[in-house]
Chain A
Amino acid sequence: MSTKKILVVDDSLIMRTIIKDIVASDPELEVVGFAENGKVGLQRVRELKPDAILLDLEMPEMSGLEMLKRLMLLSRAKVIVVSSVGQTGSPQAMEARRLGAVDVIAKPSGAMSLDLQDKKGHEIVQALRRALALAPGPGA
């Protein structure tokens, strides 16, 4: 069965790498592209038509929220926000949800969370599976 296509949008190269590793742990999910800001992200969405997007909020050129606004018109991809300002109930998290993000996950140790995989890796994968209507993976 074909894998689901994931686009990773985050302004930090380190985070993009870490997130890619997180997604790679699940055989049914595949990272097909990256973007370092919202503007590039929109281009990639047009090119790649991903099934889901992991989206940071604080980025130069075009923020995650601005990208979400356009995605709300343009793309069917399910958007999961992964951000240091994404604490449950925070203003940014709420705005992201209002603009159509299906889930918001907080980075555990700030914008650059080297411990993202340890602390939230599982949660991110589960959120993706849920959004993509896949059965919960192992250890859910």
Chain B
Amino acid sequence: MDTLAETLWQEFAVEAEEHLQAIEPVLARADPEHIGEAEIAQLFRSFHSVKGLARVLGLVGMEEVAHRAENLLGLVREGRAALTAERADLLLQSVDALKRMRDRAIAERRDEPGDNALLARLAAAFAHAGGSEEEQQPPAGVAEARLELHDDPEMLAIFVEMVKSRGSELCGGLSAEAGEREVAADAAATLGHAATVMGFDALAESFGGFERLLPPSDTEPDERVREELLARLGDIRLQVELLGEMTGQDAGIGEFSAALTERIGADRRRLAAALTDANRQLRAALATGDGPAAAEAAATVARLARALRAGVAAQSADHATEVLLLVEDLYSRVAHGAPASTALADAADAVFAQIAEEGLDEAAAELARLLRASFAGAGGRAAGGEGGARLVAGLNLPDELLAILSDDNLAEFERGVLAVGLQPYAILAHLEADSDIAGHFIDWLSGEARAITNRTVITDGESSFEFLVLSPLMPNALAELLRALDPEHRCIRRVRRLTASAEGEPLLDRAASERADAAARPSGFANLLRVRGELVDAFLDEIGELRISLSGLTEGARDADLRKELARCRRFAERLPDEQRRELLPLLLRFEERDRWLRDTEERLSAGLSRLHQSALELRVVPVEVVFNRLPRLVRDLAQRQGKSIELVVEGQEVRVDRSMVEALADPLIHLVRNAVDHGIEPPEERRAAGKPERARLRLRAAKRGAEIDIEIADDGRGLDAEAIRAKAVARGLVTAARAAELADEEIFQFIFAPGLSTAATVTETSGRGVGMDVVLNTVRRCNGNITLRSVRGRGTAFVLTLPVSAALQSTLIVRINGQSLAIPEQHVIAVAEIEREAIRQVGAQRATRYRDSTLPLYSLAGLLGITGEAPSAASSAQPIVVAGNGRQTIGLEVDEIEQRRELFLKPLHPLLARFPTIGGASVVGDGRVVLVLDGEQLLDLAARGIERAAPVEPLAAS
């Protein structure tokens, strides 16, 4: 598989997932109409991104769905439609579809069409929300232009509509009928006022000026006024055209042009004649050398040309319009002092002749060329026309550079290259990047090099200059100089020597060298890295191994006995006769010193490794948000299906948990949320009757507490029914009725974690099968976490999951039984003690002892685990015990030996072992021994069942 394609697919997979996950929680809110502007815009962008991603990989089906969703959201974003619950629902369906299509695409690597029903629903919703046919696909540029013109799209639409309906009436200002002239004046006033309100100052000026120009309605405009009116109508016509272009809405250009054309029938001939007249006056003035007269005549020509252009443009004769504009421009310049020539007058005459003949449009190109050629002040060369560059002095020069070269420049260029033998270069530089370097570069340009000209080059939204430069330096020397000037390529992007070929000789290319560098570097730079989870795990494993290896060193370094022995030897040596002492003592001192050194080094190493371990663990930590993301949707769907009104509040999404917990937590959280919605939260009528707000509140909160995390799911619903649970528990035989009566409500609540217990009257589809809570508890326990709960009848229930930030590390107490080492998780170890054997009493089948003013039942750990072997020797009078508990029970575990406290890095258990009850994990300790880690809860459980079956323990008499 092509690696580039593979990378693209991976990127697509991850990014599409991210966008879709970002969309869901927002749309799933209970009150989509109140979603703020900024978030709507973000939703829009997310759909847009998905669309773009799909397009890159040719997934047309996905693209279509995303596009329609985007369109619908676009209406919301523009304020033209509200995000109702139905629309939010439809968009969520789109998200579902997109997810499915994404998964299929990744698996099968091919496109599939979108669901037609969904596409149809989206289109219908779009139309219903006020979107029009054309709007389904507005060109991107139009949408933006609309916003630039005016903030309020509705007002803009109304204004454009107004221009459309009344604009063409303005042409009535040229009419012979007073009535039509009156209408024109009125239209101008109205439109002018509207344009002012809209802030369209130029339009307001056009309409206002036009109105002011109109004579009183009973007077017909004279020739001069008519010309001016015509010229202004030409301007307005263009403005109407632009208005339509910018807004994508019909502003009535068709009607306007037609109305104008209709009115100016006679004007064309009259104007053509007037133009020829004025031109004649210009010739006369030129002949007599009368400057002012020539200027005046030229001004007249310009004015008349402008008026005529209005009519010509209305007939869509584009070429003719251009020519007239050229005449207007050139003659304006003459009027302002540019030199005129008879050649110019001749060229203009040719133009005016064509007007009369109605052949201007066809002859336009030739006439334009004539005009340009005849104008003395015109600089620049005409563009090549066929595209591509022309050879100048045998060198390939880009067209754009050529276009801006004046005759002088060109001559200088040719001279420099041919005669003086200077080298021609094109240097592309982005001067804004570094003002110092730019300064030096410009100095060089102005000094040693001969800068002929330069042009703007725009790439990636940045503008640079391409300089055409002549220099005496040879290519290598020039490259050297520029590299010295700008070693990091901040400003100077590309340098090439111009040759006969289009490319020239490349000397310096920042883009190319960046690509080369990037290729040499194994991976790109980024603040964020995407790393495969397995790599991080392998890394952590290695560190774990390292710690385990180190723990052997730790044992040796911290050997207190050895220290004592060394000290004793030293003391002994100090008492020896001189000669022997001199021999032995230094040696022993050296040993002691080495021992100290060993201890110090081990401490530093341990500390450093600990820090390394912590840092590595950080790699595995992700924000809890990842788990929370699916829940808003779930709540929304469940609430809808059950007809309940629920607001989900999520807090603490940024709190981070170990990656391994993310998947593990998903199911428990879903189950707890389901429970809350199904059983905890009442339907609106019930809530109303109870005096509660109809909308229930479900709160999901994560908070960090030291090395632990609390995740709370709290609802303000019915609360747990202690009585019902009590009854169920008794009915299931989990507790005797008598005992049940004694237990407080909080203790009764714990029964919901027992397997097989459910007090739901009906087993609903979503939950209530009673298999949930115990699994939840187990899952949480397996992460070394715990669940506590609070509940008040009628007020609500809160579950709190407490988890360690890092699941990988386990603090344990290592004990030895029957020659085997076992680890007990520290969280269940309350204390370690040695009990005098005499203090152990036998009561029935149960051994017990007095511990801190209460009775502590004792169990042989070996007995609980069923580990047979040598019976513990009764050599010493003290029995080491581990006092273990979970807050509810406390027991004493008899062991042979208590070894030490240890932090163990848990290794994955072989599946066979994992099934063994009471085994929670395994690890390796310093000398390579495998140590099984016990599951504290299960141990306590085993013991507890022992308690239940035995006769009640009689309190021991104090001894």
A residues sitting closer than 8 Å to B (CB atoms) are 11-14, 39, 42, 46, 58-61, 69-76, 84-85, 87-91, 93-94, 97-100, 104, 106, 108-112, 114, 126, 130
Contacts and interface: CB of A to CB of B under 8 A. Distances in A.
B463 A59 contact: yes
Contacts of B199: 46, 74
A94 B242 contact: no
Contact of B326 (A13, A94, A106): A94
B267 to A, nearest CB: 20
B453 A109 contact: yes
A75 B455 contact: no
B456 A97 contact: no
Interface in B42-90: none
B325 A97 contact: yes
A110 B454 contact: yes
A48 B797 CA distance: 61
B676 interface: no
Interface residues of B, number: 56
Nearest to A126: B336
Contact of A58 (B368, B409, B453, B458): B458
Nearest to B400: A85
Given A60-B463, A73-B203, A75-B201, A88 B329 contact: yes
Nearest to A130: B336
Contacts of B326: 89, 94
A124 to B, nearest CB: 13
Interface in B273-305: none
B329 A97 contact: yes
A76 B456 CA distance: 28
Contacts of B500: none
Contacts of B769: none
B403 A85 contact: yes
A91 B403 CA distance: 10
A106 B379 contact: yes
A110 B453 contact: yes
A12 B869 CA distance: 90
Contacts of B458: 58-60
A89 B325 CA distance: 10
Contacts of B243: 73
A91 B462 CA distance: 24
Contact of A91 (B245, B383, B446, B451): B383
Nearest to B380: A87
Contacts of A11: 456, 463
Given A60-B463, A130-B336, A76 B202 contact: yes
Contacts of B200: 73-74
B635 interface: no
A109 B454 CA distance: 7
Given A74-B200, A84-B404, A110 B467 contact: yes
7 contacts: A13-B431, A73-B200, A76-B205, A84-B456, A89-B329, A100-B238, A104-B329
A73 B149 contact: yes
A111 B406 CA distance: 13
Nearest to A106: B379
B467 A70 contact: no
The residue among A42, A72, A85, A130 with the most chain B CB atoms within 10 A of its own CB is A72
Contact of B455 (A59, A76, A110, A126): A110
Q: 9 nearest interchain CB pairs?
A: A87-B380, A110-B454, A58-B456, A110-B453, A111-B456, A89-B372, A88-B378, A11-B463, A87-B379
B465 interface: yes
A101 B669 CA distance: 67
Contacts of B329: 88-89, 93-94, 97, 104
Contacts of B442: 14, 114
A70 B149 contact: yes
A112 B454 contact: yes
B240 to A, nearest CB: 10
Contacts of B467: 110
Given A84-B454, A98-B325, 6 more contacts: A11-B456, A73-B242, A74-B199, A74-B202, A106-B380, A114-B442
A90 B379 CA distance: 9
Q: Looking at chain B's contact residues, is the secondary structure mostly helix, strand, loop, or mixed?
A: helix
B246 interface: yes
Given A13-B432, A60-B463, A69 B246 contact: yes
B461 interface: yes
B404 A87 contact: yes
Contacts of B203: 73
A61 B245 CA distance: 19
Contacts of A126: 336
A30 B569 CA distance: 97
The residue among B149, B326, B431, B463 with the most chain A CB atoms within 10 A of its own CB is B463
A98 B453 contact: no
A60 B322 contact: no
B192 to A, nearest CB: 13
Contacts of B451: 109-110
Contacts of B510: none
A72 B242 contact: yes
A114 B243 CA distance: 38
B758 to A, nearest CB: 64
Contact of A98 (B238, B333, B452): B238
Contacts of B336: 126, 130
A57 to B, nearest CB: 8
Contact of A90 (B239, B380, B432): B380
A76 B377 contact: no
Contacts of B404: 84-85, 87, 106, 110
Contact of A61 (B328, B383, B461, B468): B461
A74 B453 contact: no
Contacts of A98: 238, 321-322, 325
A11 B371 CA distance: 32
B375 A88 contact: yes
B148 interface: yes
Given A14-B431, A94-B326, A74 B242 contact: no
B330 interface: yes
B202 A71 contact: yes
A125 B824 CA distance: 91
Contacts of A60: 458, 461-463
Nearest to A13: B432
B487 to A, nearest CB: 22
A72 B239 contact: yes
Contact of B446 (A88, A89, A100, A114): A114
A69 B242 contact: yes
Interface in B556-578: none
A112 B456 CA distance: 8
Contacts of B149: 70, 73-74
A91 B465 CA distance: 21
Given A84-B455, A98-B325, A114-B442, A72 B238 contact: yes
Contacts of B432: 12-13
A104 B379 CA distance: 12
Nearest to B453: A110
The residue among B202, B203, B321, B455 with the most chain A CB atoms within 10 A of its own CB is B202
B325 A94 contact: yes
B375 A112 contact: no
Contacts of A91: 383
A61 B329 CA distance: 29
A114 B452 CA distance: 12
Interface in B328-344: 328-330, 333, 336
The residue among A59, A61, A74, A97 with the most chain B CB atoms within 10 A of its own CB is A74
A55 to B, nearest CB: 13
A67 to B, nearest CB: 10
A111 B401 CA distance: 10
B148 A42 contact: yes
A42 B148 CA distance: 8
A89 to B, nearest CB: 4
Nearest to B455: A111
Nearest to B458: A60
A69 B467 CA distance: 30
Given A87-B379, A89-B371, A74 B461 contact: no
